[in-house]
């Protein structure tokens, strides 16, 4: 990978599986683990101690330090972390951002949507330009079944909101 234009900081500390694909001008930080069938685009940044497993990372995207992306996708110029967790079908649209201690599970955030602090978004569909306040959670499980939360384009959800699914904002 290094011979094909990928920068790996402290390569002796990084784990990269054989089937992984990484585009030119991408930088991989120390202690990163890139596993499975992960595909990373060009001009990306994978932070220190990040773990990617079966992830698809669009061109110009960044996975900040100590974040985990598993069976999920980041669009072009999307950002995740630090300390973010995307799992089981999470998807960030182009230029979408999730920040510190935000977890997505089976959720899609549209273009330029943001959730920057301390949120859990499970089984959710967020439109474009949505802002999710700190401490927001989607309550997607009623003890028997999972339900979906839908948040439309341009919505602003304030801090410490609890969205009990099924719900549409």
Which residues are known to be catalytic? 117
Q: Please tell me the distance from the alpha carbon of residue 34 to that of residue 52, in angstroms, as a whole number.
A: 5
Q: Please tell me the distance from the alpha carbon of residue 115 to that of residue 135, in angstroms, as a whole number.
A: 10
Q: Please tell me the distance from the alpha carbon of residue 127 to that of residue 150, in angstroms, as a whole number.
A: 8
Six-digit token pair at 32? Answer: 């990163």
How far, rounded to the nearest angstrom, does the alpha carbon of residue 122 sit from its chain's CA centroid?
13
């Amino acid at each position: 990978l290094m011979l094909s234009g990928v920068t790996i900081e402290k390569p002796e500390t990084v784990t990269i599986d054989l089937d992984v694909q990484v585009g030119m001008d991408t930088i991989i930080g120390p202690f990163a683990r890139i596993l499975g069938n992960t595909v990373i685009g060009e001009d990306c940044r994978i932070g220190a101690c990040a773990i990617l497993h079966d992830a698809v990372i669009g061109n110009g995207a960044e996975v900040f330090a100590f974040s985990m992306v598993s069976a999920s996708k980041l669009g072009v110029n999307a950002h995740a972390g630090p300390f973010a967790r995307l799992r089981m079908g999470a998807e960030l649209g182009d230029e979408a951002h999730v920040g510190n201690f935000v977890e997505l599970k089976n959720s899609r955030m549209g273009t330029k949507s943001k959730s920057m602090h301390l949120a859990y978004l499970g089984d959710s569909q967020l439109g474009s330009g949505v802002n999710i306040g700190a401490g927001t959670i989607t309550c997607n499980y009623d003890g028997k079944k999972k339900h979906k939360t839908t948040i439309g384009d341009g919505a602003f959800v304030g801090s410490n909101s609890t969205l009990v699914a099924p719900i549409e904002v």
